[in-house]
Structure 1
Amino acid sequence: MLKTEMALDKAALILKLLGDQTRLTIMKILDQHACCVCEFVEIFQMSQPAISQHLRKLKDLGLVQEERKGQWIFYSVNKNNEDYPFLQQLLEQLPSQGFRITELEENGTRISCC
C-alpha cells in the first residue's frame, strides 16, 4: 500500500469518532481556532469532564494536539498527522463554526480561563 493511501480500518475509526456531533463540531472549530477546555464548556454548555473526554478521544487518535501555556492547555487540529488530508476534506464540507468563537468574544468568555 502506498504511504499516501489510508487503510479502510483507520478511515472507519476516524469516521466513527467524528460520528459524534460534539466531536465533529470541536474538530471544525479547532481547524481554525486553538481553544482551551473552558471555551468548549461555554460553547456546548457541557461539563469540563465531558469536554475533556471528547478531546482525549480525538487526541488519542492523533487528530488533536495540545500546547501548554502556563497552567492552561490549548487544543488545535494536528495538521502534521498523516491522516490530516483525509480529515481536511471532511472538515471543508462542513459549515463554518466561527460564529461560536465570535459569540465567546462578544460575551467576554473567549479564553476566560487565562
Structure 2
Amino acid sequence: MSTIGEISETMKLLADKTRLTIMALLKEREMCVCDIVDILETSQPNVSQHLKKLKTGGLVHEAKRSQWVYYSLNVEDKPYLESVVDQLPCMKSQLEGRTGLSCD
C-alpha cells in the first residue's frame, strides 16, 4: 500500500504538462527518446530530463536495446493511478505514420 507521501510525489510528477503528455504517449506503446523528441518538438535533453524524473518516480521502465533506450509505463503497482492513466487522451494523431497504431 502506498503512503500519502508517495502518492503526493507521484501526483507532483504528473502535474507537469510535458510529463503527462509523455505518459499518454507511453500508454499507447513503448518509445525511445528520439521518437518522443520528434512528437513533442522539443530538445533531447529536455525529454531526457522528464524521463529521468518519471523513472526516478517509478512511473516508467527503461530497457536498453543495442544503442537505443526504450521507455514504457510502469504503473501496475500503483492502483491509484489507474483512473488517471485511463483518462489520458488517445495520442493516435501524434503517432500516425510511426507504427499504424490505433486507439480503442
TM-score by length of 1: 0.79
Identity %: 40
2:95 to 86, 94, 101: 101
Could you say which structure has the larger radius of gyration?
1
Match of 1:112 in 2: none
Q: 2:28·2:91 contact (CA, 8 Å) conserved in 1? A: no
What SS does the aligned partner of 1:75 have? strand
Residue 88 (structure 1) aligned with residue 93 (structure 2) = no
Query: 2 CA distance for matches of 1:28 and 1:87?
Result: 13
1:26 CA displacement: 0.5
Q: Which runs of 5+ in 2 are unaligned?
A: none
Q: Which runs of 5+ in 1 are unaligned?
A: 107-114
Q: 2:19·2:50 contact (CA, 8 Å) conserved in 1? A: yes
Distance 1:48 1:104, change over 3 A: same
Q: 1:43·1:104 contact (CA, 8 Å) conserved in 2? A: no
What SS does the aligned partner of 2:96 have? helix
Q: Which runs of 4+ in 1 moved over 6 A?
A: none
2:61 to 58, 65, 71: 65
Match of 2:32 in 1: 36
Q: How many residues get paired? A: 100
1:104 CA displacement: 4.1
TM-score by length of 2: 0.86
1:34 CA displacement: 0.4
Q: Residue type matched to 2:80 in 1?
A: F
Q: C-alpha root-mean-square deviation of aligned residues, in Å?
A: 1.7
Q: Residue type matched to 2:82 in 1?
A: Q
1:79 CA displacement: 4.1
1:7 CA displacement: 1.5
